[in-house]
Structure formats: C-alpha cells, structure tokens
Chains A and B, each alone.
Chain A
C-alpha cells in the first residue's frame, strides 16, 4: 500500500481499520483506510472473512444437492438466488416450468425483495444514527417472514424452488395474508416518507454524498439500485425478461443524481413496484401444477456453457454453468451483484469524510456472505 501512496511531505496520514467487526459493515468486512485527518485518502476493502467456496461445492455435489447453498449467499434475498440457479439449470437441461410455479416464484421473490429492502432501510437509517425506523421496518418485515415461512418452511435461508417448479403450493391463508400485508404496507410507506425521507437530518446526510457517475457504474459493472440511482435504466426483469415478468405492469425507478439519496429513493420506490407485481400475480394466478407432470429426477444438461441472470434485491445475479454432461457441474460461476457494487467503493470514497463514507457504504446495501460466497 505504501508504494501507491504519493505523499506530500507536509501531509501526515495514518491507517485506520474499519472492521472486520463494525456495526456499519453488517458482517465481517474490513476496510483499510488511509486517513488524512477526517478525510479518506485511500480506501481498500478487505474481503474473504466468510468465504466458503460455494463454487467448488457446486462441482462436487449433484445439481439438486447444490440447491440449499443458494439460500446461504445473500441471506436477505435468498429466493432470488434460488431463482437464478434453478433458472440456469433449467435453461441448460431444457426443463419446462408450469405457469403456476412461475407465478409462485415471482410472488415469493418479490415478497423477499420487499423484506430485503425493508431490512436495508432500517439498518441504513440506523447506520446514520436514527434508531427507531429499524424497529418499524422489522415489524413490517416480520409479516413477510411469517408469510414466507408458511409456504417455504424457513424464515431466512429459503430453499423453495426445485428444477421445474416449486416445492409447495400456496393456500388461501397465504393469499389473504399477502393482500393484508400489501394493504398495511401501503399505509406505512407515507409514514416512512414523512418520518424519514423528508427528515432534514437524513437529507443532509445523503444529498450529494458519495456520487457515483454513470461511467463509474459501467466500468465497475455496478447493477441494481446502485446503477439505477446513477441514472441507468437497467433492471434484468425488464431488460431480459425471464420467468413471467413480461406479463406484469411495473415501473423501474431511476434517479439521475447518483448520490446516496438517489439510491435510497430507488429502493423505497421499488417496494411499491414489487407490491404492484405481487398484486397482479395474485389476481392472475393460474390454476395448475406446481411441478412438471413427469417429475424431474435426473438432471443432466448437455455439454456446454450456459448463462442466466436474475434481478436480485441488490442487482444482477448471474449464474454461469459449464456442464460436461454429468449429474454435477463442471464449473459453476456465481456472479454476485454486491461484489461488483462494492468494488467501486475505493474510487468513490476517495476524499470523503469518514462519516460520509459510511453513508455511501450503507447506500450500497452490502451483504457480506454474498460478496465472499
């Protein structure tokens, strides 16, 4: 690190370790900061504290045995990861999915996205010093966790999707509960708007803080709310419609400013859009099977490589499979969105005040197990 530092002789800098145990990093991320007083000269994230090598695990177990791993990367939007993996394998092996199963996937993934954004909202405001919103957000999120628990069997590390469908059908109680949740959440959002979004302290902490330009997002491959907060209209659900997303009417919130406030606004607006998708999916929910009539027992994709991306809560999650025609992957690459989103932190945080850099880091919505995989 010393070699890269061109220091003015009059300038005294010191190294500050942020993490690996720090409340603002939400997990074990360490950032090596070279500080000039309160200003950051250089910031270098240090990764790998909870690296588990999921990609190697993918090579030494069968396609189906890898399913539970998908819930253990991004533990806040695990269903998107389920979706990305099963969709990639389905593409490779040519497995058809019944329409009802696709609808159930969309409904549960969008619920999961809302729960992820709500947790982020609470934790982010907590990072900035506001304690109360976290309790409100967890209250809302609890309803989603109960709903998802009733259908998937777990509250966090979901393993709900199967090749060709989903493992459990939803019942009337789930549908009623989901509608009830949406009704309630629609009343809560204006309160958050008044209580938090329009709060002058929050605005001062986020406006013009941590600007990320369009070009920076492109060079680093930033996706998801980070890209959309920089004026890039890119959402895999619209850009590359997979599953049944093309059948729903929803908007992609895009903000031009590129600052932390813009990323905040994108996520808050996305909660409403996800609710719109869920409502339409519940209205249009077709009857039928939730798994193919002929059960998918042996998965053996043809030789070759395949790619499938989905829009996870944090951006584009891509799965690159290389199959050698056997019942396990020859190579399984997991492209996690926050890995790319965080990689721009070093450039974006340069010259910032330390507390502002924490606002920037929070606005990236990091989930460390997903970065480290």
Chain B
C-alpha cells in the first residue's frame, strides 16, 4: 500500500530525467519526448540533466541502459523495499515526499567508489507503522562531492550528515555546522576514503 504510493510519488521526480535519456544527447533538445508527459520542458533544464544521463549510460555499458525510476527490490535478499537513485539536486525533494508520508530517518552515509571517480551518499528511511524501507542514493563527483542538506526536513540528519562529512569529506550544502563530530576537532582527513592512509 504505502510502498506503491511512495514509489509513484518518487517516480514523479524522474520525469525530466527520462526525457533527457530518451532524447539522444547529440540531437537538438527539441526532439519530442515519447511519452509526451511534460509539454513545458524547459530546454535549459533538459540540457542541465544531460551530463547525468550520460554518466548513467556509461555505468551500464552498451547492453542495457540502467532503468530510470525507483526500483522495487527483493526485501528478503536485500533488506529494503525501494531503491531510488537520484541526482544530488533532487535529494531534498525526495526527503520532503518521505517526510510527508511519515517516514523516519535511519541513517545517512557514504560509499567511496574511487575506481569510478565517484562518491555515493546513501539515505535510509523506514516507517513506524508499516514496514517499508526506502533507500535514496545519489552519485557525486569524487573531486567535488556536494549534495544539499536535508537537515532542515529531518533534524536527525544533522549528525548523520556531519559524520558523513567527517568520514568522506562529502559537503552538505546548507548544513548549519559541518565541523568534525566524531573525529578530533582539528581533523583535516577523511578516513573512509579509499585512498586514506593514516
């Protein structure tokens, strides 16, 4: 019930990503979207999404482009129900949707994908009334890992984001205080980066 509802709402965040993916990057941005869902697609926005689309298609080379939209996962095997990969600028919108439906935040964390030149920030949500674990994840440039904060929506994210900044150096734009929380107050290193040496 809840899962279907939240999947549908999160799916709406992907509308322009789909358009960007469906129109080939080289072609002019005016090419008509197949679904014809959004008629007022601003060309600038479409252009801004293009690098993301390109990056995604690089991830799954040639065979099959990665499916766009929140993916239902096998709960027994994975331990969560819904997995939504989003570009960093849409994380806040996703958190707002989840907050509106009464989800609580379990944790925020990162993963360093050094070989791919990327950082991943992962948000775990769960619901008190109905079992529904939602994972929001976003890939960031490893050289400039930045993502907007959700600590104004989920105050609990404040410490989790600070910790993630401690460990990975991921900057949460708009966070009130990113000073080291668990590391020493003068720490200028990020121990969970794969190239960290003590």
Interface status of A47 (Cβ within 8 A of chain B): yes
Q: B-facing mask of A40-65, CB < 8 A → 1, else 0?
A: 00000001100101011001000000
Q: A-facing mask of B165-195, CB < 8 A → 1, else 0?
A: 0010000000010001111100000011000
Interface status of A284 (Cβ within 8 A of chain B): no
Question: Are A331 and B111 touching (Cβ within 8 A)?
Answer: yes
A308, B80: Cα distance in complex, Å: 8
Question: Which of B17-25, B47-55, B86-94, B99-107 lies at the interface?
Answer: B99-107
Q: What residues of B have a CB within 8 angstroms of the CB of A47 in the complex?
A: 181-182
Q: What residues of A have a CB within 8 angstroms of the CB of B126 in the complex?
A: 309, 316
Please give me the residue from chain B that is nearest to A56 by CB atom. B191
Tell me the minimal C-beta distance from B196 to chain A in angstroms: 8
Interface status of B4 (Cβ within 8 A of chain A): no
A316, B112: Cα distance in complex, Å: 25
Q: B-facing mask of A318-342, CB < 8 A → 1, else 0?
A: 1010100000001101010001100
Q: What residues of A have a CB within 8 angstroms of the CB of B154 in the complex?
A: 219-221
A55, B192: Cα distance in complex, Å: 8
A307, B83: Cα distance in complex, Å: 12
Report how many residues on chain A are interfacial, defined by Cβ distance under 8 Å: 44
Interface status of B14 (Cβ within 8 A of chain A): no
A36, B78: Cα distance in complex, Å: 50
Interface status of B133 (Cβ within 8 A of chain A): yes
Report the interface size class on chain B.
35 or more
Q: What residues of A have a CB within 8 angstroms of the CB of B122 in the complex?
A: 305, 320, 333
Please give me the residue from chain B that is nearest to A87 by CB atom. B79
Please give me the residue from chain A that is nearest to B158 by CB atom. A343
Interface status of A181 (Cβ within 8 A of chain B): no
Interface status of B77 (Cβ within 8 A of chain A): yes
Tell me the minimal C-beta distance from B150 to chain A in angstroms: 11
A232, B105: Cα distance in complex, Å: 15
Question: Are B107 and A333 touching (Cβ within 8 A)?
Answer: yes
A373, B160: Cα distance in complex, Å: 13
Task: Contacts A307-B124, A347-B155 given; indicate if A320 touches B183 (C-beta within 8 A).
Answer: no
Q: What residues of A have a CB within 8 angstroms of the CB of B105 in the complex?
A: 219-221, 340
Question: Are A330 and B111 touching (Cβ within 8 A)?
Answer: yes
A91, B68: Cα distance in complex, Å: 27
Question: Are B102 and A218 touching (Cβ within 8 A)?
Answer: yes
Q: A-facing mask of B104-117, CB < 8 A → 1, else 0?
A: 11110101100000
Question: Are B80 and A307 touching (Cβ within 8 A)?
Answer: yes
Please give me the residue from chain A that is nearest to B76 by CB atom. A91
Task: Pick from A94, A305, A343: contact of B159, CB below 8 A.
Answer: A343
Question: Are B182 and A372 touching (Cβ within 8 A)?
Answer: yes
A344, B160: Cα distance in complex, Å: 12
A339, B166: Cα distance in complex, Å: 15
A258, B191: Cα distance in complex, Å: 38
Q: What residues of B have a CB within 8 angstroms of the CB of A217 in the complex?
A: 104
A183, B155: Cα distance in complex, Å: 44
Question: Are B156 and A48 touching (Cβ within 8 A)?
Answer: no
The CB with the most chain B CB atoms within 10 A, among A56, A88, A372, is that of: A56
Question: Are A48 and B183 touching (Cβ within 8 A)?
Answer: yes
A288, B183: Cα distance in complex, Å: 47
A interface residues with partner B (beta carbon < 8 Å): 4, 47-48, 51, 53, 55-56, 59, 88, 91, 94, 217-222, 227, 232-234, 239-240, 304-309, 316, 318, 320, 322, 330-331, 333, 335, 339-340, 343-344, 347, 372-373
Interface CB pairs A-B, < 8 A, 14: A47-B181, A48-B183, A55-B192, A91-B77, A91-B78, A217-B104, A220-B156, A222-B104, A305-B122, A316-B126, A331-B109, A335-B106, A335-B107, A373-B182
Task: Taking A219-B105, A307-B80 as given, write out 11 further A-B residue pairs in contact, using a Cβ cutoff of 8 Å, ordered by the A residue number.
Answer: A47-B181, A91-B79, A219-B156, A220-B154, A221-B107, A304-B78, A306-B78, A309-B106, A320-B122, A330-B111, A331-B109
